[in-house]
Amino acid sequence: MGSVTQDGKALRKLMLGLKVDRATANMTTGLDLFTITGGRCLVTLMLGQVTTVIETKTVNMTIVANPTTGTSTDIGALLDISADEAGTLYTVNGVAATAIVRGESGSVPAALQPFVVAVGAIEATIGATHTGSIKWTIFYIPIDDGAYITAA
């Protein structure tokens, strides 16, 4: 019988797919979070966690799917993250142009509504420079042979 750690990894992979972590970063006015290469991928969960408190000022964040070919789509619409404390969690619910979901006190609803992304990038756009830092994790299943996602 495997260890709890091995069992947890196997179950997570079975339920959510492959996992990619992006190191915590101050997103200043925006940046690429993940790069999609080789084909389409089904995103099963995308989760952000504040690691350093966000500055108290208007800090509007949007999560955008930016394909190499075609038009960008908001996959997590505008949310003001001003003064969000360390530990605040964010998810996108998979419905285009629906607001990013924020959870404070260490919990956030994770409506597992998968969405498909094409070759390109998933980006965070921020309306103002600020201090603070967010770590991002994405779970996905490749749809096309050779498709994969990496941290940008």
Question: Which stretch of 49-53, 71-75, 109-113, 117-121 has the lowest confidence by average pLDDT?
Answer: 109-113
Structure tokens at 13: 């992979």
- Are 89 and 47 within 8 A, CB to CB? yes
| Residue 47 domain flag | yes
Which one, of 59, 77, 67, lies nearest residue 134 by Cα?
A: 59
Q: How confident is residue 68, by pLDDT bands cut at 50, 70 and 90?
A: very high
Q: How confident is residue 4, by pLDDT bands cut at 50, 70 and 90?
A: low
Distance separating alpha carbons of residues 81 and 126, to the nearest angstrom: 10
Model pLDDT, residue 77:
92
pTM, full prediction: 0.91
- Are 22 and 33 within 8 A, CB to CB? yes
In the chain, how many domains are there? 1
| Residue 2 domain flag | no
Domain around 93: 18-151
| Residue 57 domain flag | yes
| Residue 9 domain flag | no
- Mean pLDDT for 5-33 is 88
| Residue 95 domain flag | yes
| Residue 28 domain flag | yes
Most confident segment among 3-12, 68-77, 127-136: 68-77
| Residue 118 domain flag | yes
Which residues, 6+ apart, have CB-to-CB distance to 22 below 8 Å? 33, 34, 135, 136, 137, 138, 151, 152
Measured at the CA of 18, the angle between CA 9 and CA 133, to 5 degrees, comes to 90
Neighbouring CB atoms inside 10 A of 86's CB total 12
Give the amino acid at 101: V
Structure tokens at 91: 């998810």
| Residue 92 domain flag | yes
Largest distance between two CA atoms of the chain: 51
| Phi-psi region at 146: left, alpha or beta (left = phi > 0; alpha = psi -120 to 50) | left
